[in-house]
Amino acid sequence: MALIRMLSRRRLLTVVAASAGMLVVGCSRNQPAPEPTDGATSAASPHGATATDAPQASTLPFSLSGMPVTVAPVEVKQTAQPAELSPQWSFGGDYAQIGVLPLSTEEVFGSASSNPNALMSYAAAILTAEGAETLTSEPPEIVDPADYFEPQDGSATADWIVWRAATVNIDSELSSVIDNWQLWAYGRTTGSGAVLIGTAEELNGTTETPAGPLEVVPTTDGTDVYWASAVYADDRWERQVLCYALDGRKPPSVVAAGDLPAAVAGGVLFAVPDTEGALTTLAHWNRLSETAETILSITSTDSSWQITGVWAAGNHRALAVSSTTAGAGTYIGLWDEEQPGPATWLHAPSTVIIGSAGATRFAWGSGSDGQEADMYAVAWDGTDLVGLGEAIGYSRPTLSPDGATVLVPASDGMTAASWTVASF
């Protein structure tokens, strides 16, 4: 039962190169890949004791366009100290509730079931210490698998929760190939209820949209929801960054060829593929101008390094760069909007990281990486790097929008996961 539930929630993550030959296809907008802009000539210095006290012997195994990195990355596993957290309440351990992210110390977004023995019985919900309030209709007792969409990962702002749901594929091989998704939004302050804002079937005319190689979470700037999916056009599938209006005022549109969107004020950051299909450029698309410009690009002598994660919270930015080479780990870059690129770099041993951005911190784990189960959090200036413990097979801590609350999972990889809501 535990294995099936892990598979249904798409936790088995691998890093592979994106498919080659990506092409922009039309919806209501059709943007080309962004043109490079002039990069900064030097990197900003890391802030705080954690970053500046790091040894200076190592360098990044890749280069940033126009931005030399002169300070060594912080080795996370050797540097992090155990976090001093104030636990508020806990839940889970029985599959009745599944946590996704904290909204505050009192509320968590996730899913709940009144019959946790049934795999296809969960509805999106707000979880509290007193119970669960479902946001969507609870599935009937007997449901056709083709009609059931399991609520999965999402993100939140002070005003909105946006999340993805998807049909459940018990076959692990099929679950890594097909992503028949839905996008939902719930106004935390409007009280208008959950709204379905888009589906893969509407977009592509099929229930068999191919899954992407990396984990994507819908994000919003309060006006639009940004998402990435394979889009079918000209007899081929292409990974595209998509834009859906929260209020339905316009049809969905294509921002550009790319992946890993992260909403920012008035637009979205996303990773752009090179001619070989590897995600090597970070771009910013502006809603007002409907144009995209390059923020930075990465190059490596062996071409094994690519972007595997992009996150944003307010004016803070985070970027993950991973290699297909075994044991290379992942480098995490942190910076603020006014800076040309990452001012702090951290090196995590896991092949890929699953991150969460809050107003004051960035947190991450290794997802379902079987070799690394540790979880961490760090202030945006690179200080206060702390360990959050480990969760085997479910290493994915998440932060509230204000960054003051963390949802920490616990798992032995065999039984149902549990979660603790805690304050820093």
Residue 170: what pLDDT? Answer: 67
CA distances from 352 to 16, 325, 373, 424 (A): 10, 12, 11, 25
Residue 6, Cβ neighbours under 10 Å: how many?
Answer: 18
Q: What is the 3-state secondary structure (H, E, C) of 206-219?
A: CCCCECCCCCCCCE
Q: Tell me whether strands 253-257 and 259-264 are parallel, antiparallel or unpaired.
A: unpaired
Residue 3: what pLDDT? Answer: 37
Residue 326, Cβ neighbours under 10 Å: how many?
Answer: 7
Residue 4: what pLDDT? Answer: 38
Give the number of domains in the chain. 1
pTM of the model: 0.87
Beta carbons of 113 and 95 less than 8 angstroms apart: yes
Whose tokens are 């992503």? That residue is 179
Residue burial 109-122, b: 16+ Cβ < 10 Å; e: rest = bbbbbeebeebbbb
Model pLDDT for residues 365-385, shown as the tens digit of each residue: 999 887 899 999 999 999 999
Whose tokens are 């709204």? That residue is 195
Asked if pLDDT for residue 36 goes beyond 60, the answer is no
Residue among 369, 378, 411 at smallest CA distance from 311: 378
Q: Residue 173: which residues within 8 A CB-CB, separation 6 or more?
A: none
Average pLDDT over residues 60-77: 87
Range of the domain at 242: 2-423
38 sits in which H/E element: none
Residue 17: what pLDDT? Answer: 30
CA–CA separation, 3 and 153 (whole Å) = 18
Q: What is the DSSP letter of 276?
A: T
Of residues 79 and 52, more confidence is placed in 79
Beta carbons of 414 and 326 less than 8 angstroms apart: no
Quick one: tokens of 366?
């290794």
CA–CA separation, 283 and 398 (whole Å) = 25
Beta carbons of 206 and 232 less than 8 angstroms apart: yes
Percent of the chain scored above 90 by pLDDT?
74
CA–CA separation, 93 and 371 (whole Å) = 23
| Residue 54 exposure: Cα atoms within 13 Å on the Cβ side | 29
The β-bridge partners of 320 are 309, 332
418 sits in which H/E element: strand 418-423
For the domain that residue 115 is a member of, what is the CATH number?
Answer: 2.130.10.10
Confidence of residue 34 (pLDDT cuts 50, 70, 90): low
Residue 49: what pLDDT? Answer: 36
Q: Say if residue 17 is exposed, middle or buried (CB neighbours under 10 Å; 0-12, 13-18, 19+).
A: middle
Of residues 59 and 2, more confidence is placed in 59
Residue burial 158-168, b: 16+ Cβ < 10 Å; e: rest = eebbbbbbbbb
CA–CA separation, 56 and 268 (whole Å) = 34
Residue 67: what pLDDT? Answer: 78
Model pLDDT for residues 92-145, shown as the tens digit of each residue: 999 999 999 999 999 999 999 999 999 999 999 999 999 999 999 999 988 999
Q: Coil, helix or strand for 247?
A: coil
Whose tokens are 């996961």? That residue is 417
Q: DSSP letters along 67-114, please?
A: ----SPPEEHHHH-EE---EEEEEEESSSSEEEEEESSSS-EEEEE-S
CA–CA separation, 155 and 265 (whole Å) = 15
